[in-house]
Amino acid sequence: MPGWNTQDIPDQSGRVAVVTGANSGIGLVTARELARKGARVVLACRSEARGNAAVARLRAELPDARVELGRLDLGDLASVREFAAGFPYERLDVLVDNAGVMALPYGTTADGFETQFGVNHLGHFALTGLLLPALLAAPGARVVVVSSGMHALANIDINDLNSERRYRRWIAYARSKTANLLFTHELARRAAVHGTDLVAAAAHPGYAATNLQTTGPLAEGRRAAERLVRIANRVIAQPAQAGALPILYAATEPGVQSDSFTGPHISMWRGAPAPSWRAPWTLNDVAGQRLWAASEELTGVTYGALKA
């Protein structure tokens, strides 16, 4: 995959895609490039205003683009269920579980889950499960879960998934990103066991300049930290257009393997897509199955067609 870029994306005509968090950053780039190649793309966004602005922007840039907004708040399971119930297509070829939050002060979702675990993992777990019939209706459908190299900071604590005993923002973030990889691992295993051709793959953008890095400092009014992050984004990070490449590769390139992990090839930081290192604990079958069972219990969403 040396030098792989958006020009290498195969034709996506006739395919339906959902990209969460598609109103800005990596999600917006991913939605744009899928639409550019002919896919019908649903931008699943929490803010209706920002989502509509993103749709308008894409239609202005790509007049023939088939893009539409879907209201989705991953921090509210009622919203996740409403989105899935209202999904207007019988098949779903590509689901990109991209939206996320990072290093926030402690908070909880509408359902009482720690925010980073609730949004980054549980919301996407529920969404994927509720959209599973549409995914299985599309031959060779892809689920791409966006994790992070930061997962290496911490394994999950199955006995304290919501960080109720002790909360450290970066550890909580790392655990949510480990959860993303364990979810991908177990989804890929179940899809294979049941003989489906569903591909579950993970990807990460390296260090890409998006508004994700500034959310935490802004939430706490830490202006100095926010300024430092903005400077680092300008000087060190790669642009969102480059950060989206591993996600687009995992979503579209023929031959992508289930449970693969794609990221930038230069020290997992920047550059063209390449196989990425992942912590050994993200390939643990027992941990994946235990997290899956806990996620089903917490969300109330079960994957009927892919039972253990």
Domain boundaries, the chain: 11-209+217-299
Sheet holding 261-266, edge to edge: 66-71, 40-45, 16-20, 94-97, 142-146, 199-203, 261-266, 270-275
User: Global pTM?
Assistant: 0.92
Nearest CA to 36 out of 16, 64, 60 is that of: 64
pLDDT of residue 179: 98
pLDDT at 227: 52
Please report, in tens digits, the pLDDT of each residue of the chain (308 residues total): 568 999 999 999 999 999 999 999 999 999 999 999 999 999 999 999 999 999 999 999 999 999 999 999 999 999 999 999 999 999 999 999 999 999 999 999 999 999 999 999 999 999 999 999 999 999 999 999 999 999 999 999 999 999 999 999 999 999 999 999 999 999 999 999 999 999 999 999 987 655 554 455 555 555 544 455 444 445 455 777 889 999 999 999 999 999 999 999 765 656 789 999 999 999 999 999 999 999 999 999 999 999 88
Q: What pLDDT is attached to residue 3?
A: 84
**Which residues are CB-neighbours of 105 under 8 A, at least 6 positions away?**
169, 216, 219, 220
Three-state secondary structure string covering the chain = CCCCCHHHCCCCCCCEEEEECCCCHHHHHHHHHHHHCCCEEEEEECCHHHHHHHHHHHHHHCCCCEEEEEECCCCCHHHHHHHHHCCCCCCCCEEEECCCCCCCCCCECCCCCEHHHHHHHHHHHHHHHHCHHHHHCCCCCEEEEECCHHHHHCCCCCCCCCCCCCCCHHHHHHHHHHHHHHHHHHHHHHHHHCCCCCEEEEECCCCECCCHHHHHHHHHCCHHHHHHHHHHHHHCCECHHHHCHHHHHHHHCCCCCCCCEEEEEECCCEEEEEECCCCHHHHCHHHHHHHHHHHHHHHCCCCHHHCC
Architecture of domain 11-209+217-299: 3-Layer(aba) Sandwich (3.40)
Contacts of 61 (CB under 8 A, 6+ apart): 32
Catalytic residue positions?
A: 173
What pLDDT is recorded for position 212? Answer: 55
pLDDT for 220 equals: 56
pLDDT at 77: 98
Cα distance between residue 43 and residue 32, in whole Å: 10
Share of the chain above pLDDT 90, in %: 84
Rounded-to-integer distance, Cα 167 and Cα 176, Å: 13
Q: Which of 155, 152, 203, 181 is nearest to 4 (CA)?
A: 203
Q: Pick the closest to residue 18 from 10, 9, 6, 27 (CA basis).
A: 27
pLDDT at 174: 97
Other CB atoms within a 10 A radius of the CB of residue 212 amount to 22
